[in-house]
Amino acid sequence: MKEFVVAFAGNPNVGKTALINALAGTKLKVGNWPGVTVEKKEAELSYKGKKIKLIDLPGVYSLSPYTIEEKITREFLLKEKPDLVVNVIDSTNLERNLYLTVQLMEMEIPMVIALNMWDEFLDLGYKLDLEKFEKLLGVKAIPTVATKGRGIRDLLDIIDKGLKEKPKVKAPKYSASIEDFISKVMELLPSDITYPKRWTAIKLLEEDTEVLKEFPSLEPKLKGILREFEDIFGASGEDVIPEERYGFISGIVKQTLRKSLREKKTLTDILDSIFLNRVLGIPIFLFILYLVFKFTFDGSGPFIDWTDGFINDFLAKWIGAAISSTPEWFQSLIVDGIIGGVGTVLTFVPLMIFLYFFLAILEESGYMARAAFVMDRAMRSIGLHGKSFVPMIIGFGCNVPAIYATRTLENERDRKLTALLIPFMSCGARLPIYVLFTSIFFKKYQAEIVLSMYILGILVAIAVGLILKKTAFKGTPPPFVMELPPYRFPTFKLLWTSIWARTGAFLKKAGTVIVAAMILLWAFINIPYGEKPEKTILGRTATVISPIFKPCGFSDWRPVAALIPGTIAKEAVVGALGTLYGVGGEEGGGEEKTGFFEDLKEQIKGFFDACVDSFKGMFGSLKTGVFEIEEEEETPLQKAIKSSFTPLSAFSYMVFCLLWIPCVVTLGAIYQEFGKRMLLASIGLTTITPYIVSTIVYQVGKLLGF
Ligand code: GDP
Ligand code: MG
């Protein structure tokens, strides 16, 4: 008969021996661990036809290889590979005991927990949400009192179950910046190592001498990674990783344990009592978000304008001049298609750099984890975690960085669900469309109607979220520990790496996809070249499909056609409407004759002006004026639109633009982050949803007599 081996691991004096005694009666054998004078106790036990050997491992606080006890315990777990580990915990001292638990979890060995000393725990008046505790750790736990034999039956039951089911323990996830390093080291490891991979990688980052010894060939590459690690965190893995473990632990403890006594307060406790405060937590978070938005948009605005100008007034002009002898369609392809496409991608760079800078500060300082904590309850009701709130909010500024911000979410399901909902957040580029239509049809209630678009976006996201939760994303989101890492000052290097990694990935990976899509769209809009809009592929397609939009209230081919350029950038809908209605002003008719170097000087000067304006924008009173709606004379475009829309159909069209396919840049980001299937899912969702919602808006509006 196979003999199962169950090892008892825990800190010293938590009751391991007492538990084994209680389980096995008096059949305890005492010997020594081979080669050392550390006492080894073991016992045998039969339960439900199983022979089980219980091993009493030496008490340890950690699994680093410094003391003999630690070495023995670690060697045993790694080499003997027991069938199950019973992690014995002194429940009156959860925080300290869980440090070992987390390290056992890192090893990903099958495990159950005995919450021993439960009598003292109750005497202290503590309360534990056991169910949540188990869920967060992903480990079964039984309260026990070894000395009085309480909980022993239950413990035996879960040991028996554990031997049958071999419950998989998932290693805890740490902060994104640490995880990046863990994956980097994991990639270095040979595929056939006998130790758990993730654990080995963590140990290597901690510069664990024993593990380092086993992989001498990795040393050169590893050295580089370790140096980078120190550079970025300003401390070695040996210091930083334990902090991460404690962050994970304090998250668990905050979420599950209620102590009756007031404990001594640390600075972290004081800051937490402010940021996690029931009343103040959310307002503080919203205020911080407001600041991030203000700094990001006011700070990057001048640079975005400069980049835009540099591409269109300088690069396009001079490259255009250089190829002026080629056929006109070719010039258009190069200038409008390729340079325009590259330009669109590049104009996102200043925005991303600014936003990522502030987000990295929030993340690395430890505040973001608190924000997620505060928002968790509200977000949970739509099947998401608190952490999803941040990407969603960023979506109001721009959907593109919002997609990348989903990376901070722990699991795939949340990342995907959040990414699918982000396009419903009304980004800044949609505003010009609202401004155009409200200025024609809703002059009196312009602000209210624009606001209603934002709110509608949120409502639709909630509704779609609920539907997806019941269908494609079935099942409750796996609970996760909201890690509360220590507060720390992020180093500049860390911030810069974070910014650069994200922006660089956008340029490299998404950039190519986006430029390709732009060229395709150019062809769609311009072929056959030089024809009237209705004769182009775009015009013909729009004419054919426009009847489909009758239920939405706009079946004229022109607004339908304008949706397509709207996928390059939402604000392009306005320009396209102008062209399609034949009232688009040919801009820049009076080209000034300036020389190349004059232009170049102008651009350089412009860049310095942008620096100054950016500073003024963030700290002074310079207004970017996005939200200002100018009062002007009725333009030809406004007249044309007035005659082909009713207020209701205009509203319906705005709704359609709000919910319709975000823009190729966002789609490029989704493709890069999640792959083809998610891209298709997102396109599908943002095609069906606007159609349904616009139809409802229009039909209900008609019934109500608008
Ligand atoms: P080990 O070092 O983990 O093997 O711990 P021991 O089994 O030697 O127990 C340490 C001390 O805690 C002993 O004095 C035990 O009697 C006591 N002890 C063990 N379990 C319990 C418990 O559940 N409740 C209380 N109150 N005392 C316990
Ligand atoms: Mg003992």
Handedness of CA 470, 475, 476, 481 (dihedral sign): negative
pLDDT at position 83 is 94
39 alpha carbon to ligand 2 midpoint, in Å?
9
For ligand 2, the distance from its centroid to the CA atom of residue 125, given in whole angstroms, is 27
- Of ligand 1's listed atoms, the one at least distance from the Cα of 150 is 23
Protein residue closest via CA to atom 15 of ligand 1? 15
Q: How far is the CA of 16 from the centre of ligand 2 (A)?
A: 6
From CA 446, how far away is CA 452, in angstroms rounded? Answer: 10
**For residue 290, what pLDDT is reported?**
80
Residues with Cβ within 8 Å of residue 675, at least 6 apart in sequence: none
Distance 114 CA to ligand 2 centre (A): 15
- Where does ligand 1 bind, in terms of residues with CB under 6 Å? 10, 12-18, 59, 116-117, 119-120, 145-147
Indicate if the alpha-carbon torsion angle 555, 559, 565, 568 is positive or negative.
negative
Task: Specify which residues 3 forms β-bridges with.
Answer: 51
Q: Which residues pair with 257 in a beta bridge?
A: 128
Nearest-CA neighbor of 383 among 455, 480, 454, 474?
474
Q: What is the DSSP string of 195-248?
A: S-HHHHHHHHHTT-HHHHHH-GGGHHHHHHHHHHHHHHHSS-HHHHHHHHHHHH
Ligand nearest to the CA of 122: 1
* Closest ligand to residue 9's CA: 1
Q: Which atom of ligand 1 is nearest to the CA of 10?
A: 3
Q: How far apart are the CA of 14 and the centre of ligand 1, in A?
A: 5
Residue 395 Cα to ligand 1 midpoint, Å, equals 54
What's the 91 CA to ligand 1 centre distance in angstroms? 12
Specify the ligand 1 atom closest to the Cα of 18: 7
Residue 185 is predicted with a pLDDT of 94
Q: How far is the CA of 468 from the CAs of 343, 378, 419, in angstroms?
A: 35, 17, 12
Amino acid identity of residue 681, one-letter, is A
Ligand approaching nearest to the C-alpha of 16: 1
Dihedral sign from CA coordinates of 57, 59, 62, 67: negative
* Candidate of 147, 148, 154, 155 to mutate for ligand 1, largest count of ligand atoms within 8 Å of Cβ: 147
Closest-CA residue, ligand 1 atom 10, reads: 13
Q: What is the rounded distance in angstroms from the CA atom of residue 4 to the CA atom of residue 1?
A: 9
- Residue keyed to tokens 């100054």: 612
Q: At what angle do helices 636-644 and 431-441 cross, to 10 degrees?
A: 70
Say if CB 202 and CB 173 are below 8 A apart: no
Peptide bond into 490 cis (omega under 30): no
Cβ neighbours for 423, distance < 8 A, ≥ 6 positions apart: 395, 399, 659, 661, 662, 666, 682, 685, 686
CA of 17 to the centre of ligand 1 (A): 7
* Residue nearest ligand 1's atom 16 by CA: 147
CA distance 489 to 103: 26
Ligand number nearest to the C-alpha of 19: 1
What residues contact 264, with CB distance under 8 A and at least 6 apart?
none
Using alpha carbons only, what angle is made at residue 655 by residues 651 and 659, rounded to the nearest 5 degrees?
A: 170
pLDDT in tens, 96-149: 899 999 999 999 999 999 999 999 899 888 899 999 999 999 999 999 999 899
Separation of CA 156 and ligand 1 centre (Å): 18
Residue 309: what pLDDT?
87
Q: Which two tokens stand for residue 293?
A: 């938005």
- Residue among 308, 303, 294, 292 nearest 611 (CA): 303
Residues near 284 by beta carbon (within 8 Å), at least 6 away in sequence: 274, 275, 277
**Ligand 2 centroid to 2 CA: how many Å?**
26
Which residue has its alpha carbon closest to ligand 1 atom 25?
Answer: 117
Give the largest CA-CA distance in the chain: 101
Euclidean distance between CA atoms 595 and 540, whole angstroms: 41
The gap between the terminal CA atoms of the chain, to the nearest Å, is: 81
Cβ-based neighbour number of residue 547 at 10 Å? 11
Residue closest via CA to ligand 1's atom 7 equals: 15
What Cα–Cα distance (Å) separates residue 563 from each residue in 348, 513, 649, 653, 663?
A: 21, 20, 15, 10, 10
Closest residue (by CA) to atom 9 of ligand 1? 15
Query: Which of 8, 17, 42, 144 is the pocket-test mutation for ligand 1 (most atoms within 8 Å of CB)?
Result: 17
Q: Residue 11 CA: which ligand 1 atom is closest?
A: 3
Element (H, E) at 649: helix 647-659
Contact 15, 113 (CB under 8 A): no
> Residue type for 150, please?
R
Around ion ligand 2, residues with a beta carbon closer than 5 Å are 17
Structure token pair of residue 577: 């409407």
Q: Which residue has the least CA distance to atom 26 on ligand 1? A: 117
Spacing, Cα 145 to ligand 1 middle (Å): 9
Radius of gyration of the chain (CA): 31
Q: Which two tokens stand for residue 564?
A: 């397509």
- CA–CA distance, 62 with 685 (Å, rounded to integer): 49
pLDDT for position 140: 95
For residue 629, the model assigns a pLDDT of: 44
Top mutation candidate among 8, 11, 13, 21 for ligand 1, by most atoms within 8 Å of CB? 13
Cα separation, 633 vs 642, whole angstroms:
14
Residue nearest to ligand 1 atom 24, measured at CA: 117
For Cα atoms 519, 525, 531, give the angle at the middle one, nearest 5 degrees: 130
Please give the distance, rounded to the nearest whole angstrom, from the Cα atom of residue 94 to the centre of ligand 2.
Answer: 19
Please give the Cα distance from 138 to 162 (Å, whole number): 13
Atom of ligand 1 nearest to the CA of 20: 7
Task: Give the Cα separation of 610 and 302 in Å (integer).
Answer: 5
CA of 26 to the centre of ligand 2 (A): 14
Is residue 97 within 8 Å of residue 11, measured between CB atoms?
yes
Residues in the chain: 706
Q: What's the confidence (pLDDT) of residue 327? A: 86
Those residues with Cβ within 8 angstroms of residue 510's Cβ, 6 or more apart along the chain or in another chain: 345, 665, 668, 669, 671, 672
Nearest atom, ligand 1, residue 14 CA: 3
Neighbouring C-alpha atoms within 13 Å toward the C-beta of 596: 7
> Which residues in the chain come in under a pLDDT of 50?
585-590, 624-630
Residue 431: which of 571, 641, 573 has the closest Cα?
A: 571
Are 394 and 402 a contacting pair, CB within 8 Å?
yes
Q: Which of 476, 519, 157 is nearest to 338 (CA)?
A: 519
Tokens of 588: 């820049």
Question: Residue 57 C-alpha to ligand 2 middle, in angstroms?
Answer: 8
Q: Within the chain, how many helices (H) and strands (E) appear? A: 32, 9
- Looking at ligand 1, which residue's alpha carbon is closest to its atom 2? 13
Q: Which atom of ligand 1 is nearest to the CA of 116?
A: 23
For ligand 1, mutation pick of 14, 73, 86, 122 (most atoms within 8 Å of CB): 14
The answer to whether 9 and 136 are in contact (CB under 8 A) is no
Q: Which ligand is nearest to the CA of 20?
A: 1
